[in-house]
Structure 1
Amino acid sequence: MSHVLIVDDDSDTREALAAIIAQDGLTTALAGDLREARIQLVRQTPDVVFTDLKLPDGSGVDLFEDLDPTSGVEVIVITGHATVESAVSALKMGATDYLVKPINMQRVKAILSRLPRPGDLKAEIGTLRGELRRMGRFGLMLGSSPAMQEVYDQISRVAPTAASVMLVGESGTGKEVAAQTVHQLSLRRKHAFLAVNCGAISPNLIESEMFGHERGSFTGADRQHKGYFERANGGTLFLDEITEMPVELQVKLLRVLETGMFMRVGTTKEIETDVRLIAATNRDPEQAVVEGKLRLDLYHRLNVFPISLPPLRERGKDVELLAQAFLDELNERYGTRKHFPPAVKEMLLSYPWPGNVRELKNYVQRAHIMSSADSDATAVVPLQISIAKPSAGTAITIPFGTSLAEADRQLILATLEQCGSVKTRAAEILGISLKTLYNRLVEYGNDTKPAEGEAGDESQTVGRANV
């Protein structure tokens, strides 16, 4: 049977908590200050600790020093309305959740319902780390590079807590997958995970989508609608592209975070919700604050535990690991046995992937679709040049009187540079075979040899440039 330690200098609060906890079939021990709490810790190690932050002889967070970090003890801090920031600080130190006085007993029950049996969650995270060492997987995430190892460590620490998480990363780096992994490793995993793209909802409808509306509250509202906060009760709400949310709605979102209460559009009746928020943005959030896209107070509330997701170009051989995983999925779905030829493998490692994991997944799908039915190899399709970040120097100047051979040399080398040294793509743009390109590079003093299976028709000639 699980054991709970309640630490509070107010006897009424202690007794009320003990009564609620007993209804859940748990044993309790009571303490009025840190000294009594430490005596109780020696007598029996609890599975859960409810502690007030302000005690006669110190702060409730001082108990962290008396708890074995490997014991799996869950700590829920109790605070007054005026010291919510202290509770947020406690979450950063490792507290699982917090309660605001006067304590809402329904919220206590909700917290107890999410608590796993001793060590279950930490054991599962440990199992996932073992799986990572074997297969490069961590929950729904894939990759074994040092950059991703750091992300996994951060997720391991924050997932079991109630702390809000801010995911920052370029488009396509997998922010929603990271949010799902946090949810699956949290105490809320048995409840809903809902994802909302704040930039994809009309500004006129986003308040209704977030908080719901009553029938007849506006034109077209022919029935009651439950919003994301109501449907995600007990679970996790992922707000993608948070900087695209209208500023006036950010005020209402902040109130929900502070009070746990909201109102549907068209009513003054407050509804209680217990939701963990994970926000994400592909912008610099601090710059978004400066530009007025994100309220400073909301940023601090959401940014309790920031996690930066690395771009694919900084993840080394994770590119191969991810590409193979995407290809394995396609092979299983369509009953094929495709593999990447050497030319594709070269492109995968040399291309900078401005669209990150999303772009890589799309490329693998194109290569699989374009491959011939009677071949086990994927097609060598050209990589698309991203329009998001146009390259500088897309034109070359060739003076009058330059020989045709020299003009060809400058054109080939400039095209290769613009393609990030991806030879297959450069040959495609120039309208020559890959073998011809390699031969020209050898002539220009490059000793690079074509990889196996890359040689093409040598009879093609270089396309002329307009000079």
Structure 2
Amino acid sequence: MKYLNETSHMVGLSKATRNLQNAIQKVAPLEAAVLLYGESGTGKELAARMIHDLSNRRTSPFISVNCGALPRELLNTELFGHEKGSFTGAIYQHQGYFEQADGGTLLLDEITEMPLSFQVYLLRALETGTFRRVGGHQEIKTNPRVIATTNIDPWQAVERGKLRPDLFFRLAEFPLYLAPLRDRDEDAILLAHYFLESFNETYEENKRFTNDALQFISNNSWPGNVRELRHAIHHAFILANDEIDERKFHRGQWQSTPSYQDKLVYSLVGLSIEDIEKNLIPATLDHFKGDKKQTAQCLGISLKTLYNRLNLISEIDGKEDLNKVVNFSTKNSNAFLARESD
């Protein structure tokens, strides 16, 4: 998918993109809350904007809020506003984002970055359609359509305590997954041409890709997704004269290499699940300085399961084959590839 242009169209012919377009066109005219999830750079805000532009609220405000960028102490006043004199420095009445988005669309970007303790207030506002400004006593009615985004699996976010289950179900009336660019190979070239045409128009140029540049774009995995692809093409566009060839791409940054996850998986090939657990669990416990609750949460298991696994590990014969001990330390940037030798 592409970055939004004036007509709110998406670039892409892959099945994933066509399915997304179709789903957006169906849900946009409705009032259902939408939860967009996918990796960073896949175009979640673009999809949210498209939903707004195709809805009956298109002539009303579209307000985007980055939940991770709001300071904890200002969450209440930023989202719900405050009354004049409600605290030191409140020299005028302030309308929060909920009030500004009344009748329009409110995008809560990276909702899982919002503190759990504040999510209950958000849930109440969504359930009742009312809120109070900080320092106020009057219940104010508001009617924004809420769209939320997250770059992590929302179901895992609930399991790990980053998202309240009740808030999740309220926001995910219509969940939509945005696939990474590496799973939409046929879209990369279309996007590249779209971005090139945009830059040519902006800078009044007529540059073009060479075949080797298109091959490079097609072969690259683009872990940063559409955002990374656009920045790479902009960089190459600036360096090129008439033709953009492969050499214009900054290979140190945009070279197709296995991802961190791929390297980690390859480093574990040949080990049994038991071997991995015997190293991963104690290493995670050590990382959290013996805090078993945090360790269990990080590993995605219950506290009871953690105790059972630790007891099992302690009962296993202590003689390890050192060639099978994986170093999970985060102190060494290459630790996930390292195996200790004899």
Tell me the TM-score normalised to structure 2 length.
0.71
Q: What is the distance in 2 between the residues matched to 1:346 and 1:219? A: 59
1:365 aligns with 2:230: no
Aligned to 2:263: 392
TM-superposed deviation, 1:166: 0.5
Q: Provide the rounded CA distance (Å) in 2 between the counterparts of 1:219 and 1:175.
A: 37
Cα deviation digits, residues 244-286 of structure 1 (max 9, x gap): 0111221111111111101111111111101100001011111
Alignment correspondent of 2:183: 314
1:11-50 equivalences in 2 (<5 Å): none
What does the per-residue CA deviation read over 1:340-385, in whole Å, with 9 as the maximum and x for residues that have no partner?
A: 122211110001010000000100110011113xx34366223415
Whether the aligned pair in 2 keeps the contact of 1:140 and 1:180 (CA below 8 Å) is: no
Work out the CA distance in 2 between the residues paired with 1:140 and 1:217: 44
Give, in angstroms, the shift of residue 388 of structure 1: 7.6
1:161 aligns with 2:69: no
| Aligned residue type for 1:314 | D
Q: Could you tell me which amino acid in structure 1 is paired with residue 263 of structure 2?
A: A
| 1:17-416 matched pairs, under 5 angstroms | 139-372=8-241, 375-377=242-244, 380-383=248-251, 384=253, 389=260, 392=263
Secondary structure class of the residue paired with 1:204: helix
Three-state SS of the structure 2 residue aligned to 1:237 is strand
Mapped to 2, the partners of 1:389 and 1:164 lie a distance apart of 34
Unpaired runs of 5+ residues, structure 1, are 1-131, 394-467
> Which of the pair is proportionally richer in strand?
1
The Cα shift of 1:138 comes to: 7.9
2:244 counterpart SS class = coil
SS at match of 2:196: helix
The answer (yes or no) to whether the contact 1:343–1:380 under 8 Å persists in 2 is no
Partner-residue secondary structure (3-state), 2:231: helix
Deviations 1:292-340 (A, max 9, x none): 1100000000010011011111112210111111111111111111111
One-letter amino acid of the structure 2 residue matched with residue 311 of structure 1: P
The change in CA–CA distance for 1:171 and 1:265 in structure 2 (over 3 A counts) is same
For residues 158-185 of structure 1, give each alpha carbon's deviation from its aligned partner in whole angstroms, at most 9, with x where no partner exists: 1111000000100000000000000111
| Matched residues, number | 258
Deviations, residues 413-442 of structure 1 (Å, cap 9, x unaligned): xxxxxxxxxxxxxxxxxxxxxxxxxxxxxx
Of 341-350 and 157-166, the range deviating more from structure 2: 341-350
Q: CA–CA distance in 2 between the matches of 1:153 and 1:324?
A: 23
Matched to 1:392, the amino acid is K
Query: What are the superposed Cα offsets for residues 137-168 of structure 1, whole Å, 9 maximum, x if unpaired?
Result: 98342212111111111111111110000001
CA contact (8 A) 2:77 2:134 kept: yes
Structure with the greater relative contact order (CA < 8 A, sep ≥ 6): 1 or 2? Answer: 2
Counterpart CA distance in 2 for 1:200 and 1:341 is: 40
Larger radius of gyration between Structure 1 and Structure 2? 1
Cα 1:387–1:193 shift into 2, 3 Å? farther
Q: CA RMSD in A?
A: 2.3
Which structure 2 segments of 5+ residues have no match?
265-342
Identity of aligned residues (%): 49
CA distance in 1, matches of 2:262, 2:16: 26
SS of 1:205's equivalent in the other structure is: helix
Q: How does 1:411-450 map to 2 (within 5 A)?
A: none
Q: TM-score, normalised by structure 1?
A: 0.53
> C-alpha offsets along residues 186-239 of structure 1, whole Å, 9 cap, x if unaligned?
111110111111011111112211111112222322221111111111000011
The CA distance in 1 between the partners of 2:85 and 2:116, in whole Å, is 26
Q: Deviations over 1:21-74 (max 9, x none)?
A: xxxxxxxxxxxxxxxxxxxxxxxxxxxxxxxxxxxxxxxxxxxxxxxxxxxxxx
Distance of 1:387 and 1:255 partners within structure 2: 44
Q: After the TM superposition, which parts of structure 1 deviate over 6 Å for at least 4 consecutive aligned residues?
A: none
* 281 and 388 in structure 1: CA distance in 2 versus 1, 3 angstrom threshold: farther
Equivalent residue letter for 2:195: F
Deviates more, 1:198-207 or 1:353-362: 198-207
Higher helix share: 2
Alpha-carbon distance change, 317 to 387 in structure 1, aligned in 2, over 3 angstroms: closer
